[in-house]
């Protein structure tokens, strides 16, 4: 074969190789686009649904359970303090401790609510 034919064959073999590389890249791109679409839609939605459910549960625990318990404790404490006042006796140390604990519980609830809002 003459040099011209060799050059043409060499060029054609390079082009075939180039086409294989290009097709391989196209397949890789299509695969990555498909993966990105799945992750951005189905996988994301599944995790987002879990997040919103967990967020709702955490919010409800604070709003209903914790706040109700602290409010009830405060109401009971107010009743106890009124009874102590009516008796005209000094507030016992244990009741003073309970006042602090009720205030701490209320502060913890507020802190948790702020943390939840920042999330």
Structure token digits, residue 101: 């604990």
* Chain position carrying tokens 């294989």: 20
Could you report the per-residue pLDDT of 6-42, keeping only the tens digit for each? 666 566 556 555 555 566 777 888 899 999 999 999 9
Per-residue pLDDT, 24? 76
Among 66, 73, 81, 51, smallest CA distance to 113 is for: 66
Residues 6 or more apart in contact with residue 58 via CB below 8 angstroms: 116
DSSP codes of every residue in 17-52: HHHHHHHHHHHHHHHHHHHHHHIIIIIHHHHHHHHH
HEC assignment per residue over 60-119: HHHHHHHHHHHHHHHHHHHHHHHHHHHHCCCCCHHHHHHHHHHHHHHHHHHHHHHHHHHC
What's the pTM? 0.65
> At 89, phi and psi to the nearest 5?
-110, 165
Residue 86's domain comprises 3-118
CA atoms within 13 A on the CB side of 113: 13
Per-residue pLDDT, 79? 97
Per-residue pLDDT, 36? 93
pLDDT, mean of residues 69-98: 96
Tally of structural domains, the chain: 1
């Amino acid at each position: 074969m003459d040099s011209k034919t060799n050059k043409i064959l060499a060029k054609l073999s390079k082009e075939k190789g180039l086409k294989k590389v290009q097709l391989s890249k196209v397949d890789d791109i299509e695969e990555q686009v498909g993966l990105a679409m799945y992750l951005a839609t189905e996988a994301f939605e599944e995790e987002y649904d879990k997040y919103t459910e967990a967020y709702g549960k955490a919010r409800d625990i604070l709003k209903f359970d914790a706040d109700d318990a602290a409010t009830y404790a405060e109401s009971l404490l107010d009743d106890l303090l009124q009874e102590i006042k009516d008796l005209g006796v000094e507030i016992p140390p244990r009741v003073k401790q309970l006042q602090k604990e009720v205030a701490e519980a209320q502060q913890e609830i507020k802190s948790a609510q702020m943390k939840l809002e920042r999330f």
